[in-house]
Structure 1
Amino acid sequence: MAGHSKWSQIKRKKGANDSKRSAMYSKHIRAIQAAVRSGGTGDPAGNLSLKNAIAAAKSATVPVDNIENAIKRAVGAGDGAADYKDVTYEGYGPGGTAIFIETLTDNVNRTVADIRAVFNKRGGSLGTNGSVAWQFEKKGVLLLKDTSEQAQETAIEHGAEDIQESEDGLEISTGPNDLYAVQDALVAAGFPVESAQVAMLPSNTVAVSGDDARKLLMLIDALEDLDDVQNVYSNAEFPEED
């Protein structure tokens, strides 16, 4: 199960300052509250969307108190609370790259206008539904530092589809519905999981470098800065940092 680590590429980010960290926390809180409302319960055991949202928030180091308070507020919210919808957008970036965007919005017209403006300003173009989605697949992704053969065998026995090994540990991909079965099996066997979440992984990557790489990173950063944008995925393969 050798090969290039897609996750290390799509999660390539610069360090966040306090302002960016606060904005990132707000996005996760919004996702948690939307999951509670759409799933009809604040219990992650009976709400897979909420379980995924909590896992993503924890991976982003959102404090547990913030997560718990967000769930409580969502459970107690009445009909007047904002009704966020999951809407995805697709587009093209520098170097012939594909970009897939997940949003949570209570105003689709505002969101699409903001996204189109970023694409136009940063040298990309907004595509139509289905234009690049076929290049991505929803997967569960787990990261753990233990690279032992036993850890890999445990993951495979419980549903892992692919395993990539790097100097940072193991990147394990699963079907989206198998994510937590693999996670629970690893934890039960004594292999702590660093993070576990559902993501859109590219089926193939496109190498970018130089000006294209810089422009694409600026485009991705600008999209991520939009309040309604939850996640931005690309099929870009960036050069290794020195």
Structure 2
Amino acid sequence: MSGHSKWHNIQAKKGKIDAKRGKIFTKLGKEIAVAVKTGGANPDGNSKLRDCIAKAKAANMPMDTITKAIKKGSGDMEGVTYEEIMYEGYGPAGVAMLVNVLTDNRNRSASDVRCLFDRNGGNLGANGCVSWMFQRKGQIVIQRQDGMDEDELMMKVLELGAEDFAAEEEVFVITTSQEDFSSVREALEKENFEFESAELTMIPDNTVSLSMEDAERVQKLVDKIEDNDDVQNVWHNAEFPEDFEE
């Protein structure tokens, strides 16, 4: 079955996680703490927290760090209220971009994101200007291992409720609806599958193929935005050249 996301893009994201692990852990910790504040500290009764923990584990966040984030959300964040905001705009070459933010200061975040777009060849737009081009989906990436039967895995994940299964050279990419993400992920966890990544994401309906020059410009903007402490995720519909390297 055809996939909605190129492994190159997923691999590039993983490379950035490896390179900026400390900062990524801080952002994941904030996401976990917010999930705890909104739904409680028990993962059994808080599906959002379960999803956050799975995402953190896939990024190799240590369990004691995850536990500390849960405890922080349980009692050590009084006086700090984070607001989730989605900014929308266009990057170089007309690439549609969504910027997901958790912030305690809406004005600061809006100013920072706008400046980053303006200074790096982009244009921050109004709410709704590009979000209609994306669908919220679950995405689970499993590294290929010796002895894995591709057809057997495909049938398994489809029976579990996945919407799509893509076999790439190095990984299998499983796409689910937002509603079925947790149940599919948990069923695969019980069978001891290890994930390269497991998260709710925004998947574009169509992509924009980039030249090498435009790819460099888009990647520069993405990197600048992701470096902002308030930014949790950046999603876009760029399709990078196969030989593009960050």
TM-score (norm 1): 0.91
CA displacement at 1:17 relative to structure 2: 8.8
Determine the C-alpha separation between the residues in 2 that align with 1:103 and 1:112. 10
Structure 2 equivalent of residue 226 of structure 1: 228
CA displacement at 1:117 relative to structure 2: 0.5
Structure 1 equivalent of residue 101 of structure 2: 103
What one-letter code is carried by the residue in structure 2 that aligns with 1:96?
Answer: G
Q: Could you list the per-position Cα deviations for residues 93-127 of structure 1 after superposition, in whole angstroms to 9, with x for gaps in the alignment? A: 11111001111001000001000010011000001
Determine the C-alpha separation between the residues in 2 that align with 1:128 and 1:151. 42
CA displacement at 1:193 relative to structure 2: 4.0
TM-score (norm 2): 0.90
- Gapped regions of structure 2 (runs ≥ 5): none
Q: CA RMSD in A?
A: 2.1
Structure 1 equivalent of residue 90 of structure 2: 92
* Higher alpha-carbon deviation: 131-140 or 59-68: 59-68
- Contact 1:213/1:238 (CA < 8 Å) preserved in 2? yes
Aligned partner of residue 178 in structure 2, secondary structure: coil
Structure 1 equivalent of residue 174 of structure 2: 172
Q: Could you list the per-position Cα deviations for residues 204-242 of structure 1 after superposition, in whole angstroms to 9, with x for gaps in the alignment? A: 111012221111000000000000000001100000127
What one-letter code is carried by the residue in structure 1 that aligns with 2:51?
Answer: N
Q: Could you list the per-position Cα deviations for residues 43-91 of structure 1 after superposition, in whole angstroms to 9, with x for gaps in the alignment? A: 12211221222122222221111001110122123632x1101111001
Q: Does 1:127 align with 2:125?
A: yes
What one-letter code is carried by the residue in structure 1 that aligns with 2:55?
Answer: A
CA displacement at 1:4 relative to structure 2: 5.7
- Contact 1:100/1:232 (CA < 8 Å) preserved in 2? yes
* Higher alpha-carbon deviation: 5-14 or 22-31: 5-14
What one-letter code is carried by the residue in structure 2 that aligns with 1:70?
Answer: A
CA displacement at 1:11 relative to structure 2: 5.6
From 151, 154, 160, give the equivalent of 2:153: 151
What one-letter code is carried by the residue in structure 1 that aligns with 2:168?
Answer: S
- Aligned identity (percent) is 43
- Contact 1:6/1:202 (CA < 8 Å) preserved in 2? no
- Gapped regions of structure 1 (runs ≥ 5): none
Aligned partner of residue 42 in structure 1, secondary structure: coil
Q: Does 1:2 align with 2:9?
A: no
| Matches for 1:1-242 after TM superposition, within 5 Å | 1-3=1-3, 5-6=5-6, 8-9=8-9, 12-13=12-13, 15-16=15-16, 20-39=20-39, 41-77=40-76, 79-80=78-79, 82-144=80-142, 145=144, 146=148, 148-189=150-191, 191-241=193-243
CA displacement at 1:16 relative to structure 2: 4.5
CA displacement at 1:10 relative to structure 2: 5.5
- Contact 1:138/1:199 (CA < 8 Å) preserved in 2? yes
Determine the C-alpha separation between the residues in 2 that align with 1:221 and 1:241. 19
What one-letter code is carried by the residue in structure 2 that aligns with 1:235?
Answer: N
- Number of residues paired by the alignment? 240
* Higher alpha-carbon deviation: 199-208 or 142-151: 142-151
- Contact 2:51/2:182 (CA < 8 Å) preserved in 1? no
Determine the C-alpha separation between the residues in 1 that align with 2:233 and 2:14. 15
Aligned partner of residue 12 in structure 1, secondary structure: helix
